[in-house]
Amino acid sequence: METRDAAAAFTALGQPTRLELVRELLAAGPSGLPAGEIASRLGVPGSTLSFHLRSLEVTGLVACTRHGRSLVYAAQVARLRALIAFLTEACCGGDPARCGDLHRLFNIDGETASMERPTFNVLFLCTRNSARSIMGEAILNRIGEGRFRAFSAGSAPSETGPLPEVLAQLKALGHDVSALRSKSWDAFTGPDAPRIDFVIALCDTLAGQLCPDFGATTITAAWPLPDPAKFSGNATERATLLNELYAALHRRLGIFTALPFDALDRMALKARIDELADPHAMAR
């Protein structure tokens, strides 16, 4: 980072409201916060907030993306890290450890490793919530290692529950299927619903429906996959399809859980998740 760029960034941060604004965005993580919620948290008028946001955007410390009618802002973690690193370049002749405890403030990798990593809630959607979304829920809850909590739902959930052959496959692969059931996506709206960080639709038909509002900071993606309920092949062909679906979801979710969530802003994170819809992109 050049000295002039660093000076501009420090100048932008050298105002109490802007400093609190950045702290709020850092606390919100890569999903960011809508402008209205930021104004409410800081207790400042919208026009005043816009002025401060523009000052921070110009220096690259925050970035904005549109979600429906809302403008969502996220802290640019990489830019903030570069700003901190700028301070350490000349510290004690390039050896910050000679500065007593001061080096601990600049040990970004060590501090990051010791911090508690956030838990993300992921909702998988498909029309009947009987196969693909059920698989996604089961897979992510196992490979998420406590960092991800997976849920699933549908626009018209199956009255008979998940497909028996899907449950049998998951059970054979070592998944706990006792809590898996078909449910409406309405269960994930309203004040008592869990906060949803990511919504991943697994079928084409949802594209033509009016999805509920899961919150302005929710990141959405679509990974369309074939519907086992509509496949009319014999038992062997159906088993092959289910195995292919499971493998495709497992590959995508393995990449998803390995993304550098703490280093990507909201726009970059959405772009990376959208790429996982393309099997050719995963191979690159």
pLDDT, tens digit (0-9, with 9 covering 90-100), for 165-193: 999 999 999 999 999 999 999 999 878 88
From the list 206, 241, 239, 208, the residue with the least C-alpha distance to 223 is 206
pLDDT for res 282: 55
Q: Are 163 and 131 in contact (CB under 8 A)?
A: yes
From the list 33, 21, 103, 81, the residue with the least C-alpha distance to 266 is 33
Q: Are 267 and 77 in contact (CB under 8 A)?
A: no
**Segment 64-70 mean pLDDT:** 73
Convert the pLDDT of each residue in 148-167 to its tens digit: 999 999 989 999 999 999 99
The span from the CA of 202 to the CA of 205, in Å, is 9
Residues of CATH 1.10.10.10 domain(s) within the chain?
3-114
Convert the pLDDT of each residue in 195-208 to its tens digit: 898 999 998 654 45
**pLDDT higher than threshold 60 for residue 136:** yes
Kindly state the percentage of the chain with pLDDT values over 90.
43
pLDDT for res 93: 61
pLDDT for res 112: 42
pLDDT for res 113: 40
**Segment 75-88 mean pLDDT:** 82
**Close Cβ partners of 124 (under 8 Å, ≥ 6 residues apart):** 132, 133, 136, 137, 140, 150, 151, 152, 153, 200, 201, 202
More confident residue, 114 or 54: 54
For the chain, give the mean pLDDT.
83
pLDDT for res 151: 96
Q: Are 198 and 123 in contact (CB under 8 A)?
A: yes
pLDDT for res 214: 77
**Residue 78: band (very low, low, confident or very high) from pLDDT cuts 50, 70, 90:** confident
Region of 129 (left: φ > 0; alpha: ψ -120 to 50; beta: rest) is left
More confident residue, 96 or 72: 72
More confident residue, 116 or 60: 60
- Its CATH architecture, for the domain 120-283, is 3-Layer(aba) Sandwich (3.40)
Residues of CATH 3.40.50.2300 domain(s) within the chain?
120-283
More confident residue, 143 or 218: 143
CATH of 3-114, one of 2.60.40.3080, 1.10.10.10, 2.60.40.10, 3.30.1490.20: 1.10.10.10
Sort strands 62-67 and 120-125 into parallel, antiparallel or unpaired: unpaired
**pLDDT higher than threshold 70 for residue 265:** yes
Q: Which two tokens stand for residue 231?
A: 């496949």
**pLDDT higher than threshold 60 for residue 3:** yes
Q: Which helix (H) or strand (E) holds 65?
A: strand 62-67
**Segment 59-86 mean pLDDT:** 82
pLDDT for res 129: 94
**Beta-bridge partners for 70:** 67
